[in-house]
């Protein structure tokens, strides 16, 4: 019987209409009896039946017109109650006017008590209709509480505003989730120890006691900004207690106005940065990007793909997406087709080492702005494959920069790294060489470009070359965050190289926002340094991620230290000692005062390095890199022994 009455299936709206009409017809009858002190004589008069039929006909029309019968009773709300009041009031008004104009002159009935009957009928019928809905809703809620909830997780909702109430209703209305809303928590003292939607409101300081007493397993936060109204303190407390933190967007961002389960997401480590929102001068970026032809190398990578997403919003003429990674590029193409319908993009597969292929792309699309994000970035991988680091990070950059000059590109923006500062590995050193070449292009007005075996006449450099330098980005492909997530998912251990290793971190959208801002403000020759905040200990990052998963570090998930990898150093730097910074109008962007090098010197040393690269002698090539970059000192690498001898003495490696 319980399953029959309280199953999820909704009953016919015509059945609801019939029940409503039975109630209002019965209340008319009862109102007549009460006003006439239960004198039955007129009740059996055929004229009374005519009035009853007329009233029912009007009620049916009004209820259908106002769609009172289409609401699902178990989900009735305040708006439904107001609509019922209005429907009964409108029915009574039309019936009263219609009776006096149409019926009373043909069908005699005592009108002495007519107004009193209609007033009583209005209050009784509307009350009964509302009581029906409240009773059904309460009964369904009660039956849901009687369902076995051993497998459900007790969850607290942070805040007790309108969005919190909507989330509570959405969670309780859904049958496919395994969450039981236990209570609200708030920092507003006016709401503490009060009830909202039959749920108590506790102070956020009570979370620890609630966890131990009622086995609270999750706390849900609403909205994207988690650094306001005490949220940060509460989130930190939840992480410390091992309570999982989940988030949902604000109600105005719900799909079709409804909360879906896939919108309930675990708190990401990126959310714990608690940075102030980056304020962009969007008019500057719009002026630079709107209507322009833009080429992005490394477009399928973490930074490159985010540049694509953000630039599309500035309405360029078109964007050329260039990468050599087939599957990631294909995935990006599908994403653009799904999420950026109508975006003007061209997908191009090419290797930046291949100058001839890249020349064809420049010839076909004639880009006005180039974002050069293509690079090899994994330190241990490049330490073992230095020739590829040189070919992509140095030769590839040189190819794109030279073509930018040849085809009159307005701005060339290079994405560099903090590992280029005092490099301790091949990857960082190769990026430093790329920086040197890019910066040297701004020192001379003319440049002789080598096109394979042909020497082109000196070319006037009109391209503005800009370099952006920042640290690690959270969640990028192959970075520490996805690796830790995978290790936690399989039960550990989480591998950290060293207990004291630290890194600067920034989210991918944050870093790209600053790249676009720097591109807009750049006049050529600058190295822009981004405010990365305070450095973060990697072991602290691992501990936070384990706690975010609702687990206990070194109990549920072990943390092990594996030792520094080849080329890895404990601390990263954004500036060399010799460099100084100049502030810009953006508080998070500064300009590094760099040591300039002649383009002719940089060209010659790169050519020598590329010749050594062709000889397959890694030691000779690394030795040459150390000659070019005196502060390149290898760490935890087989090339450390090169640093033990004066440069002139090393000719036998």
User: Is the pLDDT at 396 greater than 60, yes or no?
Assistant: yes
Q: Hey, is 367 helix, strand or coil?
A: coil
Q: Hey, is 55 helix, strand or coil?
A: helix
Q: What angle do CA 212, 218, 220 make, to 5 degrees?
A: 135
- The lowest-confidence range among 105-109, 122-126, 323-327, 384-388 is 105-109
- Tell me the pLDDT band of 173, cut-offs 50, 70 and 90: low
Domains and CATH numbers, the chain: 2-145 (no CATH), 153-267 (3.40.50.720), 282-471+506-532+574-628 (3.40.50.720)
**Continuous H helices in 99-206:** 114-145, 162-173
- Tell me the pLDDT band of 368, cut-offs 50, 70 and 90: very high
DSSP structural state of residue 39: -
- Report pLDDT for 225: 58
Q: What angle do CA 269, 273, 274 make, to 5 degrees?
A: 125
User: pLDDT tens digits for 538-567?
Assistant: 888 888 888 877 788 888 889 888 888 777
575: which 2 tokens?
């500036």
User: Is the pLDDT at 447 greater than 50, yes or no?
Assistant: yes
Q: How many Å apart are CA 610 and CA 439, to the nearest integer?
A: 19
Greater model confidence, 177 or 366? 366
Highest mean pLDDT among 322-326, 442-446, 568-572, 633-637: 322-326
- Tell me the pLDDT band of 492, cut-offs 50, 70 and 90: confident
447: which 2 tokens?
């440049």
For the purposes of burial, counting CB atoms within 10 Å of the CB of 34, is it exposed (0-12), middle (13-18) or buried (19 or more)?
Answer: middle
User: pLDDT tens digits for 276-302?
Assistant: 555 666 778 888 889 999 999 999 988
Question: How far, in whole angstroms, is CA 374 from its chain's centroid?
Answer: 24
pLDDT averaged over every residue in the chain: 77
Greater model confidence, 351 or 176? 351
Q: How many Å apart are CA 234 and CA 203, to the nearest integer?
A: 10
- The beta-carbon contacts of 86-93 under 8 Å, at least 24 apart in sequence, are 87/62, 87/63, 88/24, 88/122, 88/125, 88/126, 88/129, 89/122, 89/126, 90/62, 90/66, 91/24, 91/55, 91/58, 91/59, 91/62, 91/63, 92/118, 92/121, 92/122
User: pLDDT tens digits for 15-63?
Assistant: 777 777 788 778 877 777 777 665 655 555 556 677 777 778 887 887 7
12: which 2 tokens?
């016919």
User: Is the pLDDT at 457 greater than 60, yes or no?
Assistant: no
Q: What angle do CA 323, 411, 604 make, to 5 degrees?
A: 80
Q: How many Å apart are CA 57 and CA 542, to the nearest integer?
A: 70
The residues near 125 (Cβ < 8 Å, ≥ 6 apart) are 23, 24, 27, 28, 88
- Report pLDDT for 220: 82
Note whether 373 and 379 are within 8 A (CB).
Answer: no
* β 450-451/454-455 pair status: antiparallel
Q: How many Å apart are CA 189 and CA 204, to the nearest integer?
A: 10
Quick one: residue 168, left, alpha or beta (phi over 0 = left, psi -120 to 50 = alpha)?
alpha
């Amino acid at each position: 019987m319980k399953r029959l009455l309280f199953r999820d299936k909704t009953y016919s709206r015509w059945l609801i209409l019939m029940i409503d009409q039975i109630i209002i017809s019965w209340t008319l009858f009862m109102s007549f009896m009460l006003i006439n002190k239960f004198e039955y004589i007129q009740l059996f008069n055929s004229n009374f039946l005519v009035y009853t039929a007329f009233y029912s006909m009007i009620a049916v029309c009004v209820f259908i017109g106002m769609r009172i019968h289409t609401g699902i009773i178990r989900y009735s709300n305040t708006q439904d109650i107001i609509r019922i009041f209005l429907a009964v009031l409108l029915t009574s008004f039309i019936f009263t006017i219609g009776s006096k104009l149409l019926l009373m002159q043909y069908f005699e009935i005592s009108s002495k008590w007519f107004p009193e009957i209609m007033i009583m009928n209005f209050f009784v019928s509307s009350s009964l209709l509302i009581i029906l809905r409240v009773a059904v809703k309460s009964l369904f809620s009660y039956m849901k509480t009687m369902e076995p909830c051993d497998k459900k997780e007790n969850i607290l909702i942070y805040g007790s505003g309108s969005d919190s109430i909507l989330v509570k209703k959405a969670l309780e209305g859904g049958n496919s989730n395994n969450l039981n809303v236990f209570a609200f928590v708030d920092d507003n003292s006016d709401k503490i120890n009060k009830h909202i939607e039959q749920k108590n409101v506790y102070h956020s300081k009570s979370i620890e006691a609630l966890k131990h007493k009622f086995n609270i397993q999750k706390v849900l936060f609403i909205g994207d900004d988690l650094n306001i109204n005490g949220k940060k303190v509460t989130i930190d407390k939840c992480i410390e207690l091992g309570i999982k933190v989940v988030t949902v967007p604000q109600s105005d961002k719900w799909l079709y106005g409804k909360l879906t389960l896939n919108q309930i997401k675990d708190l990401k480590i990126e959310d714990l940065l608690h940075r102030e929102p980056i304020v962009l001068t969007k008019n500057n970026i719009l002026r630079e990007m709107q209507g322009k032809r833009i080429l992005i190398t490394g477009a399928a990578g973490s930074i490159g793909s985010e540049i694509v997403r953000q630039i599309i919003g500035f309405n360029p003429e078109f964007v050329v997406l260039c990468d050599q990674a087939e599957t990631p590029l294909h995935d990006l193409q599908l994403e653009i087709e799904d999420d950026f319908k109508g975006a003007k993009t061209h997908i191009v597969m090419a290797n930046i080492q291949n100058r001839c292929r890249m020349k064809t792309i420049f010839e076909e699309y004639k880009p006005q702005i180039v974002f050069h994000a293509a690079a090899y970035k994994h330190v241990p991988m490049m330490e073992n494959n230095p020739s590829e680091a040189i070919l992509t990070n140095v030769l590839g950059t040189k190819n794109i920069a030279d073509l930018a000059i040849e085809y009159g590109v307005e701005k060339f923006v290079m994405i560099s790294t903090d590992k280029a500062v005092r490099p301790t590995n091949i990857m960082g050193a190769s990026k430093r060489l790329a920086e040197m070449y890019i910066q040297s292009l701004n020192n001379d007005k003319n440049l002789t470009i080598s096109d394979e075996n042909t020497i082109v006449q000196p070319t006037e450099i009109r391209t503005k070359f800009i370099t952006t330098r920042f640290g690690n980005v959270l969640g990028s492909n192959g970075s520490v965050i996805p690796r830790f997530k995978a290790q936690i998912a399989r039960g550990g251990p989480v591998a950290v190289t060293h207990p004291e290793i630290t890194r600067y971190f920034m989210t991918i959208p944050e870093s790209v926002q600053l790249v676009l801002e720097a591109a807009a403000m750049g006049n050529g020759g600058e190295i822009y340094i981004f405010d990365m905040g305070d450095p973060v200990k990697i072991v602290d990052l691992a501990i936070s991620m384990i706690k975010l998963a609702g687990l206990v570090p070194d109990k549920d998930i072990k943390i092990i230290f594996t030792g520094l990898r080849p080329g890895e150093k404990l601390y990263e730097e954004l500036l060399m000692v010799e460099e100084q910074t100049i502030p810009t109008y953006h508080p998070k962007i500064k300009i590094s005062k760099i040591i300039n090098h002649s383009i002719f010197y940089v060209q010659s040393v790169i050519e020598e390095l590329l010749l050594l690269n062709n000889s397959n002698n890694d030691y000779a090539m690394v030795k040459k890199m150390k000659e070019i970059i005196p502060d390149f000192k290898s760490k935890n690498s087989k090339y450390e022994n090169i640093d033990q001898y004066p440069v002139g003495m090393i000719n036998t490696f």
